[in-house]
Structure 1
């Protein structure tokens, strides 16, 4: 592998490490590059040893490094599968957000909601979604002081919605709410998925160890 291509691969891998909170400075990059220039990329175990010894300074960073290495040096077929899945998740998220604009209106006007609040609405149980939509419908037909409600009522209505969605955000847990589009970077998505699974496994094992 030519030096320029090796540089590019290393920088892409380091970017994946940094997204997991692993700090890497220029000296460490140069040390890693020197090591890889000597051993090449053919022997995966040796490559992992060089990168771990030059780029990982804390045991706390080791789990992310291990998953990032597994994913980054996976087969092209696996990488394509992760990229395709990330693309599908992004499209699903965008479609879901668009649907909330169709469903959450007051007298034809969009409710003033953030993407995070709309994502919380997307994650609600269907019966809760229906309850909120019926509440909007009844509000449009409501009467105040003998007069039909107009758009001056919308800020109050939005505050009520904000409160309900905040309650559900806490109930559901942030890990169950896609507050941002997953993105098309399938490698990062796969590392994050694996890390979440590790956390679940640790918790499950801890619970089993309780007498």
Structure 2
């Protein structure tokens, strides 16, 4: 039996006292300069999100957090360039919303990964679905009672965001791609992407009420999600 890939999904709180001081030394010069241009609370949240990401990836690669070198793909998706040829190169993706971030890490790096977290906010996602999404998706959302439509619309939005990040495309390029489950209540399976022959797997991840989280992995093979909380231990 072929082993199933596992995505470690790290939940990173961004507003805890002391975490900005802990993570600030991990940032490189460009990140520190960017943080200096932000006003609270955005500054602290940016520092913790970037610093925690470096700290977590350090645990996978064995490279000191500040020694990790970022490179950026065509549409701005970052990846790690390692100086040591023997170190593993994980695929990863960071998403944040308000005071929480999630970092998806796929250890073997053979497949690209994307993640998205969104808060359910009255009416916003439902309007976007009506305007930009596939007609079948708009009808699907309309089939729910008014109180549940925004949650379902937000769930569809996170699936598209996660896929865009995994595939390296702009969100605008994948809005037309259907992400409905084969049957309501079941997670999506494989489907065609924006590239000819491209396939992806999507999974909704349980989170707190009022939030939606999705993870996407490129390729036809299924995957598991292992929830993790940063920082680990006391």
TM-score (normalised: structure 2): 0.22
Higher relative contact order (CA 8 A, sep 6+): 1
Provide TM-score, normalisation by structure 1. Answer: 0.24
Q: Which structure dedicates a bigger proportion of its chain to strand?
A: 2
